[in-house]
Structure 1
């Protein structure tokens, strides 16, 4: 059976750390206390033994009897009395030859006085540590000077009084009472402080242990940088608190963007409104950002009734929008074919009915009329529009408009030469989107006065093409004049219908070619004007914007 050791909790780790710190502090305090105790002993006891030695050296008995033959017997009682009364460890008197003549330890009489400094032999005093008879003592050596006319000032000998230095154990025992007090106080404060600190940290970390927080951060990093969508988190001051690599690439943000505000990053307009939540919407917001179509979803982060900020996810819908555009072209082609099939079916029904009632001359007249109308339409389009793709698109849109009971006409000022394939495709895209939106708007306004109509005008100069599409619809509200392009509205959206990306893609195509698109209202309805570069100028513009 495998026994797994239980890991310490945050409170346990803090307590252990506090105790270790407390022990280290106590060891340091003990060392300092011992050093201070030794210094105090040297200062206090050094002064005391020096004073006793000087007092003994100046005693008349010592000064008068030290150089006498019976000095040992005369001074013995003096040394014993000093040892007893002053509680010192040793009292020693030596002659000027350094030979001990009297000592509290009789076994030392006749031995040489231990000297650590040569100045003692020159009748100078000295204080320091010496080993006396196997004991380490703090001693004071004071010279004995003669008195009287015969011996005045003569060096007669030396008095040495010492006190045993306390050991480390003795010093520690002497200081143990306050060290134990410090240990108890530090331990109690450490336990209380670690418990309070652990409780506060637990509250701030939502009750999670450090290893759980580390695991959560690892999972968050793996999730944020492993998903294909961009993630941007903002605080209440609209500062970036988190952004993954995908979000940074989609928004073209610098590496050190975390901590910067949206204003500092140069984010404004529609993108700022969506990230800040100023538009009042949060789901599937379409934003154009430097040639990309982004779909953004914003969610406000609330914890315990307190708003912490917001998190916005971003999806790059540019490729999907291009696919939708291509699918829309196929769908438009299908609608055109269906409209033409419906028109041809009606015409065949009329011809069949005329044949059945025997009106053969009417059949021939009807077919000639249809032929003249078709030739007139073909001539009107091909005369002004020599690019086959755009001409075919306009002729097909005429059939779709006829089915929807909208009159689609081409302006007499229209002129368009044959374009390069890539130019022709973009011009056809813009014309198709604008005509579809105009037909929707004109159909919406049907019955509000007069027959609905749409007019298309295409003008070309040396380096650009201008497309103007007018309709008899209700127009675009002034406050939506820019929103219809930035949000990706269709003209239906201006009336509150479903949103799309048709006009947004139209602006994207125009800007990619160094142009622009705008909308204005007239008495009759709305006028969309798009301009783009073609030829070599367009190639230069597209390369410079990449």
Structure 2
């Protein structure tokens, strides 16, 4: 049976590591204390034994008896007196040949005096460490010189005084009477600090171990760079803290963009507002360099503090194009429904007149309908030479009539037959602007109207759509195309991305679309280049 060993936790490893560091620091402090104690002992005791040795070497009795035949009996009391009074370990006197003639240690008599330096034999003083009879000492060796007339300075012998060097334990105890207390308190504080640090680290890592954190980081990287949506994170200073590959592609960010602020990256206006908003955001739309981006922003909080935000971005450009195509089919269906409704109403009128036997009135009613249709066809055909645009406006008139809005064509309208690609874009822009105007005007009182004016020169087509609606609020005039509002936005309603697509088509054609308020309502003006190569701006992400 195999027993699986439990792996140490991050907090436990940090606690053990910190305790090991504390132990090493305490050992280092102890070693330094020992070294300082040894250095202090050597300095103080070295000076003291040197002074004692010099004092003994200048003693008249010692100088008088050192070269006599039997000096030890005379010098022994002097040496023991020095030993007892000074508290040193040994006092030794040697003759000029280096033979010990008197010592407080009788076993050293008639032996050679160990010299700390060769210069001692030549009447030079010395102090330092010396091993005497197996005992390490801090010793001083001073020459004994003759001061008799004619022999002044003659070397008579050597005085050696030493004090035993303390052991390691003695030095540790002598270093400071409070050293052990200090080390104990330091150990306690170090252990407590290590435990608190381990707890704090565990709390900050949410109780996860390093292998778990590493796994999460790997999974996060794989997820962030593997999903088809862009992800961008900002801190409180509105700097990028994280962005995946798709996010960099959608926003055209440089490779080393993390840590840079949004203005430094060229992100302004609508996109900047969505990324840096204070609250949550759901399915916000922004146009950035020809792309339709749908963004969702979530605020990141911890312990009640706002740390930043994370925003996901989806490229809806191709979907917007599909939506535009589907919208055209939906618009066609709606137009056919409106025309069918109009024809049904007319048939009901004719049927009723027949039932009441008003045959002459039936003929007059049919002639009136035909005359109205012929006048509309004549007006459209005379001002608009392109059949696709004329057919679009013809169908839109039925839709407008159903919603009690008069759709009229300006007297200044003049449009020739266009290239099929040019006609498709002109029809798209015209249809979006007319739909938007009908939406705005239908909410007004009786007498609602929408006026369309199309003007053409050699290189461009200008489309002007006026309505009798409430107009566009001044604060929305700049955002109405980037956020996808209709003129109903002035009343607080957001209506998708119809106008945003209109702006994309105009920009792709090298033109623009603007909106202004008139005394009657709103006026949208769009300009498109024709007969030229299209400027492709609705590119797909890299």
> Residue in 1 aligned with 2:319?
320
- Does the CA contact (< 8 Å) of 1:484 and 1:494 recur in 2? no
Is 1:126 the counterpart of 2:126 in the alignment?
A: yes
Give the aligned partner of residue 435 of structure 2.
436
Q: 1:439 to 1:72 in 2, by over 3 A?
A: closer
* 1:263-282 correspondence runs (5 A): 265-277=265-277, 282=281
Q: What is aligned with 2:186? A: 186
How far apart are the structure 2 equivalents of 1:329 and 1:534? 21
Q: Deviations over 1:225-252 (max 9, x none)?
A: 4443344445555555554444444344
When structure 1 is superposed on structure 2, of 105-114 and 137-146 the one drifting more is: 105-114
Task: Give the superposition deviation at 1:310.
Answer: 4.4
Q: Deviations over 1:411-452 (max 9, x none)?
A: 34323334344332221110111122223334333xx243x4
Determine helix, strand or coil for the equivalent of 2:122. coil
Query: Which secondary structure state, in structure 1, belongs to the residue aligned with residue 144 of structure 2?
Result: strand
Change (3 A) 1:150 1:240: closer
Q: Report the TM-score, using the length of structure 2 for normalisation.
A: 0.83
Aligned mates of 1:46, 1:281 — CA distance in 2: 80
Q: Aligned pair 1:95/2:74, yes or no?
A: no
CA displacement, residues 259-315 of structure 1 (integer Å, 9 cap, x when unaligned) = 55555555443334434447x884333222222222333444555655555444433
Is residue 291–residue 538 contact of structure 2 (8 Å, CA) maintained in 1?
no
Give the conservation status (yes or no) of the 8 Å contact 1:231–1:243.
Answer: yes
Larger mean Cα displacement after TM superposition, 37-46 or 301-310? 301-310
Among 500, 503, 528, which residue is 1:504 paired with?
500
SS in 2 for 1:336: helix
Match of 1:5 in 2: 6
Distance 1:422 1:125, change over 3 A: same
Task: From the superposition, tell whether residues 133 and 286 of structure 1 become closer, same or farther in structure 2 (CA, over 3 Å).
Answer: same
Residues 135-154 of structure 1 aligned to structure 2 (within 5 Å): 135-149=135-149, 151-154=151-154
Structure 1 stretch displaced more, 404-413 or 510-519: 404-413
CA offsets 1:192-239 (integer angstroms, 9 cap, x no match): 333444555566x38535646666655555554444334444555555
What is the aligned partner in structure 2 of residue 296 from structure 1? 295
Structure 1 216/351 Cα, relative in aligned 2: closer, same or farther at 3 Å?
Answer: same
C-alpha deviations, 1:70-129, integer Å up to 9, x for none?
334543454455455544444332222333333444554444433343432332212223
CA pair 153-391 structure 1, distance change in 2 beyond 3 A: same
1:481-535 deviation per Cα after TM superposition (whole angstroms, max 9, x unaligned): 3443232122344344452211121122212323222223334443221112223
CA contact (8 A) 2:317 2:538 kept: no
More moved, 428-437 vs 38-47: 38-47
The equivalent position to 1:516 in structure 2, one of 508, 512, 525, is 512
Separation in structure 2 between the aligned mates of residue 257 and residue 23 of structure 1, nearest angstrom: 45
Asked if 2 retains the 8 angstrom alpha-carbon contact of 1:517 and 1:530, the reply is yes
Per-residue deviation, 1:355 = 10
2:531 corresponding residue in structure 1: 535
- RMSD of Structure 2 on Structure 1 (CA): 4.1
Name 2:24's counterpart in structure 1: 24
Pairs aligned (count) = 539
Q: Is the partner of 1:284 in helix, strand or coil? A: strand
For residues 80 and 359 of structure 2, the distance between their equivalents in structure 1, rounded to whole angstroms, comes to: 166
Question: How has the CA–CA distance of structure 1 residues 104 and 318 changed in structure 2, closer, same or farther, with 3 Å as cutoff?
Answer: same
Residues of 2 paired with 1:545 and 1:328: CA distance?
21
Q: Is the 1:96–1:156 Cα contact (8 Å) retained in structure 2?
A: yes
Distance 2:474 2:167 in 1: 98
1:137–1:404 CA distance, 2 compared to 1 (3 A) = closer
- Can you give the 5+ residue segments of structure 2 that lack an aligned partner in the other structure? none
The CA distance in 1 between the partners of 2:38 and 2:461, in whole Å, is 101
The offset of 1:328, in angstroms, is 0.4
Residues 373-392 of structure 1, C-alpha deviations (whole Å, 9 max, x = no match): 76665554444433343333
Which range moves more in the overlay, 192-201 or 310-319?
Answer: 192-201
CA–CA separation in structure 1 for the residues paired with 2:238 and 2:245: 19
Cα distance change on mapping 1:93 and 1:329 into 2, 3 Å: same
Query: Matches of 1:36 and 1:439 in 2, distance apart?
Result: 96
Given that residues 461 and 527 in structure 2 are in contact (C-alpha distance below 8 angstroms), is that contact kept between their aligned partners in structure 1? yes
CA contact (8 A) 2:450 2:466 kept: yes
d(CA) in 2 for partners of 1:170 and 1:479? 87
Contact 1:466 / 1:529 at 8 angstroms: preserved in 2? yes
Partner in structure 1 of residue 424 of structure 2: 425
- Are positions 1:455 and 2:451 aligned together? yes
Match of 1:471?
467
Change (3 A) 1:343 1:503: same
- Please state whether the residue corresponding to 2:189 is helix, strand or coil: helix
Is the Cα–Cα contact under 8 Å of residues 26 and 179 in structure 1 kept in the other structure? no
Map 1:33-182 onto structure 2 (within 5 A). 33-83=33-83, 86-149=86-149, 151-172=151-172, 174-175=174-175, 178-182=178-182
Separation (CA, whole Å) in 2 of partners of 1:103 and 1:26: 43
The Cα shift of 1:330 comes to: 0.9
